[in-house]
Amino acid sequence: MTMGHRLRLGAGSAALRVQRWRAERRYDRRAPDPGSPLNPPLRSTIRMREMMSRHYLAGRSVSGSRPVAWVTSGAPTEILKALGYHLVYPENHAALCGARRRAEALSSAAEDAGYSRDLCSYARTDLGSLLSGDTPVGSLPPPDLLLCCTNICQTVLYWYRVLADHFGCPLVLVDTPFLYGDAAEPHQVDFVRRQLEDMVPAAEAAAGREFSLDGFTAVVARAKQASDLWLEILERARHRPSPLTAFDSFVNLGPIVDLRGDQATVAFYESLLAELDERIARGVGAVKDERLRVLWDNLPIWYRIGPLSRWLAERGVNVVASTYTHAWGELAEMMDPAEPFEAMARVYLHPILNRSTGHKLAAMRRMVEEFSIDGVILHSDRSCKPYSLGQIDQRDRLVADVGVPALLLEADHNDPRSYAEEQATTRLEAFVEMMS
Amino acid sequence: MTVTHRPSRSEAIARAEARGQRIAAVLPYHYPRALLRAHGFHPVEVWGPPGVPRDEGGRHFQAYTCDIVVRATSFLLRGGLERAGVLLVPHTCDALQGMGSVAGDFLQPSQHVLTLYLPRAGRPTDREYLVAELRRLSDRLAGIAGGRPTDAGWADALAAEEAADETLAALYRDREALAVGDREFYEVVRSREYLAAEEFVEAAAAVPRGTAPSGIGLLLSGIVPEPMSLFDHLAEAGARVVADDLAAGARRLYPPSDAADPIERLADRLLGSPPDPTRGTPIAARAAALAGRMAAAGAKGMLIYDVAFCEPELFDVPLLRRHLGDAGYPVAHVEVELGGELGHRVITRIEAFVETLA
Ligand code: SF4
Ligand code: SF4
């Protein structure tokens, strides 16, 4: 890193810190809003925003000083972390574009280049950003390595093949056979473990650095700590009233996905957990008048998070849990720093998206019970087929066997053109009525 | 000129049953045929079917799911597969992942639902995994069939299926010396989807030799050429398919293997399949292979003929267009739904494309 880069990074970092202090001061001084159906948002979110901004800021000047890898959201990044890689998550970047209402324009740029509107809107958003050079984070550092893990979908492999072609850098594939049965079979675990081991020399070569098993073990230990904390945070929503909404967890997901393995992430989630406990002690819920509790399935609708959360809260509805956010916590118990390759092979085979539709239904049934759920919203996400296919049967079973109202809500996680506001509102109204 | 009579799908099924084989309905598109045969199963492939409405399948899969999955589900629920004892759903893509999972977990048909995860690369570790995965499938089939294949059973299955695969490869190699139009050619190629290996060899032998009809050479890429009247429209426009990159066609020209162990042999052959987006081939390598195939066959351009909502195909389109364009081959892309006849817009696009190549 040149001196100029270092100075710019230092100045940017200091500016972000000052921004956070100001935001926290404003937060502490703000007068209660009696008209809002929601209590003030979590104060820790301010810190999370600073962390994520700092990460994107670091990316702007990282080229040449640290190796850079672009990785999928379910990828085994601990090996790369141990090698000092700066990680870029195109899906997180796309979600950020979605939350800032930039996804439609970026998707259109990709569509103009020939990418079909039927493709995943994360991929379209990101490819559009790549082709147009437009991003709300200033710029993304080009990758020295691409790491693609198929444990969330096959889509990422098609997408990363496009990225590999664009950047001309190595693409490391960690292929994780889909688990149709109850758990991974030995040959599946062996396959993934061997790929993780084989990944080391490829990552070393692209980084020009040597891998250290101790470093890897330490990263795994911190990733486990953070994942354990994340799960604890989500489980706090079992309290009535729940101190957080699933929308809060969507928003605070960034560090566990992007910065897993960092000490700062552990510290952040410790403070978030403490804030929730403090809310619980004071009897403060995220929704002022929580009467109905809902489970959310699938990705969030990034461009509607705020309005949807408010609309539901106005009707006394708190979306307390989601299958999506649990994905980054529920595997913590499988992480074992003593046997990192074998354990990580198991971990990366078992995310909910790599498991059967029956397993997902079982997970939802369990969550209905554990979180005292009154109804389930299954976001039928037009451009995420792996998460969405199976939802029709899952909804039918939830209604028939579990006896909870369940709504299939048609939308798209990032592309607002696939969201019909009026139709969605009518369906949500009927759903709330059914729960009441 | 047309070829002589081939057994129909139902005749082929009846003949297989008469031989004492059980029927395995198989979804697209890479799978080890000889493994099924060795265990006493006759594979019959299900590519939709295109004529079956989406209605029943649409009660389980959203509107943004491709026709192959939705129509195959309809067919299953309507009893169209009732002669099959096994439903094999290879994990080709996210959509077939959904179908395999929903069928096993929720639809629970009378057939045994079996799945097969093919690795997405060709590294030594992929081979090891695939061998283990095929052994797992073999165990499942043995459990259903009530016994394992004998050595002689394996030898018969491998010999017959490899002979049929070689016949398929020869059909492609000898395309210019076959006196049939594209529609007839692909009807024979696609009869491999339901005929027994020996029947397919016979059907191929019956294709008249001579000179292939002339026309502007095209490479046809995509999943499946449905409706088959596509070939009539191409012929009317003055084009001829001189090579293909179809999942239902040349993507299944498996190379030979000299492995002695039957399952390792099958794994080698599956892993050696031609470049293919569902198998993770880098796009530039795929484009280079396609350009080579076009040069060898004298194709002037490529028509990508996709089933709507088919992600594996759609992702590659812009870069294939660019790479092949750089190599001097124009590319046109159309998307179709499987039911019914080709729409006017698609036909006009195809005609306009062929005109630009003339
Ligand atoms: S298809 Fe779904 S799981 Fe895959 S990248 Fe897109 S949103 Fe993520
Ligand atoms: S048409 Fe495409 S999406 Fe559908 S089953 Fe075939 S490969 Fe999968």
Substitution candidate for ligand 2 out of B310, B316, B337 with most atoms within 8 A of CB: B310
Tokens matching residue B8: 């129909």
Residue B205 placed within a domain: no
| B184 phi and psi angles, rounded to 5 deg | -65, -40
Residue B159 placed within a domain: no
Query: Does B349 contact A at CB distance below 8 Å?
Result: no
Beta carbon of B95 within 6 Å of any ligand 2 atom: yes
- Cβ contacts of B136 on chain A, cutoff 8 Å: 185, 187
Distance B248 CA to ligand 2 centre (A): 12
| Residues of chain A numbered 44-83 and touching chain B (CB < 8 Å) | none
pLDDT band at A410 (very low <50, low <70, confident <90, very high): very high
Beta carbon of B291 within 6 Å of any ligand 2 atom: no
Nearest-atom number in ligand 2 for the CA of B96 is 5
Considering only the beta carbons, identify the residue of A177, A382, A386 that sits closest to B117: A177
**For residues A258 and A56, is the Cβ–Cβ distance under 8 A?**
no
pLDDT at A175: 98
Query: Does A198 contact B at CB distance below 8 Å?
Result: yes
In sequence order, what are the residues at sequence separation of 6 or more whose Cβ sits closer than 8 angstroms to the Cβ of residue A392?
A408, B59, B60, B61, B62
**Among A403, A401, A383, A381, residue whose Cα is nearest residue A391:** A381
pLDDT at A141: 96
Residue B90 placed within a domain: yes
d(CA A178, CA B103): 15
Beta carbon of B68 within 6 Å of any ligand 2 atom: yes
Substitution candidate for ligand 2 out of B26, B65, B93 with most atoms within 8 A of CB: B93
| Of residues A301 and A337, more confidently modeled | A301
d(CA A322, CA A307): 18
Look at chain B and report how many structural domains it folds into: 2
CB atoms within 10 A of CB A123: 26
Task: Report CB contact under 8 Å: A114, B101.
Answer: no
Query: Does B317 contact A at CB distance below 8 Å?
Result: yes
CATH number of the domain that B252 lies in?
3.40.50.11900
| A221 phi and psi angles, rounded to 5 deg | -60, -40
Tokens matching residue A350: 């078992």
Same domain membership, residue B281 and residue B146: no
Peptide bond into B194 cis (omega under 30): no
Smallest CA–CA distance, residue A164 to chain B, in Å, is 8
Distance B74 CA to ligand 2 centre (A): 16
In sequence order, what are the residues at sequence separation of 6 or more whose Cβ sits closer than 8 angstroms to the Cβ of residue A279?
A243, A285
pLDDT at B1: 47
Q: Name the helix (H) or strand (E) containing A71.
A: strand A68-71
Query: Does B272 contact A at CB distance below 8 Å?
Result: no
> Cα A244 to chain center, whole Å?
16
Task: Report CB contact under 8 Å: B94, A389.
Answer: yes
Task: Report CB contact under 8 Å: B280, A194.
Answer: no
**For residues A150 and A349, is the Cβ–Cβ distance under 8 A?**
no
| A194 phi and psi angles, rounded to 5 deg | -65, -40
pLDDT at A1: 54
The fraction of chain A above a pLDDT of 90, given in percent, is 89
- Cβ contacts of B101 on chain A, cutoff 8 Å: 178, 180, 356-358, 389-390
Which of A157, A161, A192, A200 is the best residue to mutate to test the B interface, defined by the most B CB atoms within 10 Å of its own CB? A161
Beta carbon of B273 within 6 Å of any ligand 2 atom: no
* Residues B14-45 pLDDT 10s: 999 999 999 999 999 999 999 999 999 999 99
Distance A151 CA to ligand 1 centre (A): 10
Same domain membership, residue B239 and residue B104: no
Same domain membership, residue B140 and residue B230: no
Residue B182 placed within a domain: no
**Among A202, A195, A204, A226, residue whose Cα is nearest residue A82:** A204
pLDDT at B140: 98
Nearest-atom number in ligand 2 for the CA of B69 is 5
Task: Report CB contact under 8 Å: A385, B106.
Answer: no
Task: Report CB contact under 8 Å: B129, A190.
Answer: yes
pLDDT band at A6 (very low <50, low <70, confident <90, very high): low
**For residues A128 and A109, is the Cβ–Cβ distance under 8 A?**
yes
Measure Cα distances from B111 to A7, A173, A279, B23, B86 in Å. 67, 34, 53, 10, 5
In sequence order, what are the residues at sequence separation of 6 or more whose Cβ sits closer than 8 angstroms to the Cβ of residue B206?
B3, B4, B6
CB atoms within 10 A of CB A333: 12
d(CA A112, CA A150): 27
Residue owning the nearest CA to atom 1 of ligand 2: B310
Same domain membership, residue B245 and residue B141: no
d(CA A46, CA A19): 9
pLDDT band at A10 (very low <50, low <70, confident <90, very high): confident
Task: Report CB contact under 8 Å: B91, A159.
Answer: no
Same domain membership, residue B346 and residue B217: yes
* Residues A244-281 pLDDT 10s: 999 999 999 999 999 999 999 999 999 999 999 999 99
Q: Could you list the pLDDT tens digit for every one of the 358 residues in chain B?
A: 455 579 999 999 999 999 999 999 999 999 999 999 999 999 999 998 989 999 999 999 999 999 999 999 999 999 999 999 999 999 999 999 999 999 999 999 999 999 999 999 999 999 999 999 999 999 999 999 999 999 999 999 999 999 999 999 999 999 999 999 999 999 999 999 999 999 999 999 999 999 999 999 999 999 999 999 999 999 999 999 999 999 999 999 999 999 999 999 999 999 999 999 999 999 999 999 999 999 999 999 999 999 999 999 999 999 999 999 999 999 999 999 998 899 999 999 999 999 999 8
The fraction of chain A above a pLDDT of 70, given in percent, is 98
- Cβ contacts of A392 on chain B, cutoff 8 Å: 59-62
Residue B28 placed within a domain: yes
Query: Does A382 contact B at CB distance below 8 Å?
Result: yes
pLDDT at position A328 over 90:
no
**For residues B182 and B244, is the Cβ–Cβ distance under 8 A?**
no
Same domain membership, residue B348 and residue B237: yes
| Residues of chain A numbered 120-149 and touching chain B (CB < 8 Å) | 120, 123
**For residues B100 and B115, is the Cβ–Cβ distance under 8 A?**
yes
Nearest-atom number in ligand 1 for the CA of A159 is 5
* Residues A184-196 pLDDT 10s: 999 999 999 999 9
Tokens matching residue A186: 């030995």
Query: Does B326 contact A at CB distance below 8 Å?
Result: no
Same domain membership, residue B45 and residue B118: yes
pLDDT at A31: 86
Which ipTM score applies to this complex?
0.95
Residue B293 placed within a domain: yes
Query: Does A420 contact B at CB distance below 8 Å?
Result: no
Nearest listed ligand to the Cα of residue B93: 2
Query: Does A362 contact B at CB distance below 8 Å?
Result: no
pLDDT at A337: 86
Q: Which of B102, B127, B150 is the last residue of a domain?
A: B150
d(CA B92, CA B117): 8
Q: Which of B132, B150, B168 is the last residue of a domain?
A: B150
CATH number of the domain that B22 lies in?
3.40.50.11890
pLDDT at A103: 95
Task: Report CB contact under 8 Å: A385, B98.
Answer: yes
What is chain A's mean pLDDT, rounded?
A: 94
Task: Report CB contact under 8 Å: A357, B101.
Answer: yes
Smallest CA–CA distance, residue A420 to chain B, in Å, is 15
Q: At what angle do helices B283-297 and A155-167 cross, to 10 degrees?
A: 80
Residue B337 placed within a domain: yes
- Cβ contacts of B282 on chain A, cutoff 8 Å: 161, 164-165, 171
Same domain membership, residue B343 and residue B240: yes
Residue B178 placed within a domain: no
Measure Cα distances from A166 to A134, A202, A342 in Å. 16, 19, 33
Helices (H), B48-181: 55-58, 67-77, 94-102, 124-145, 151-173
Q: At what angle do helices A103-112 and A121-132 cross, to 10 degrees?
A: 80
Domain carrying residue B134: 9-150
Query: Does A174 contact B at CB distance below 8 Å?
Result: no
Same domain membership, residue B219 and residue B145: no
Same domain membership, residue B221 and residue B143: no
**Any idea which residue has 């036909």 for tokens?**
B347
Same domain membership, residue B325 and residue B217: yes
Residue A342's Cβ-side half-sphere holds a number of Cα atoms within 13 Å equal to 5
Distance B348 CA to ligand 1 centre (A): 34
Task: Report CB contact under 8 Å: B98, A357.
Answer: yes
Query: Does A392 contact B at CB distance below 8 Å?
Result: yes
* Residues A105-137 pLDDT 10s: 999 999 999 999 999 999 999 999 999 999 999
Same domain membership, residue B129 and residue B249: no
Considering only the beta carbons, identify the residue of B105, B120, B309 that sits closest to A150: B120
What would the DSSP string read from start to end of A147-191? EEETTS-SHHHHHHHHHHHHH---EEEE----B-SSS--HHHHHH
- Inter-chain Cβ pairs, chain A and chain B, closer than 8 A: 155
* Residues B255-307 pLDDT 10s: 999 999 999 999 999 999 999 999 999 999 999 999 999 999 999 999 999 99
Residue owning the nearest CA to atom 3 of ligand 2: B310
Distance A384 CA to ligand 1 centre (A): 5
Nearest-atom number in ligand 1 for the CA of B94 is 1
Distance A357 CA to ligand 2 centre (A): 18
**For residues A382 and A418, is the Cβ–Cβ distance under 8 A?**
yes
**Using CB atoms within 10 A of its CB, is residue A59 exposed (0-12), middle (13-18) or buried (19+)?**
buried
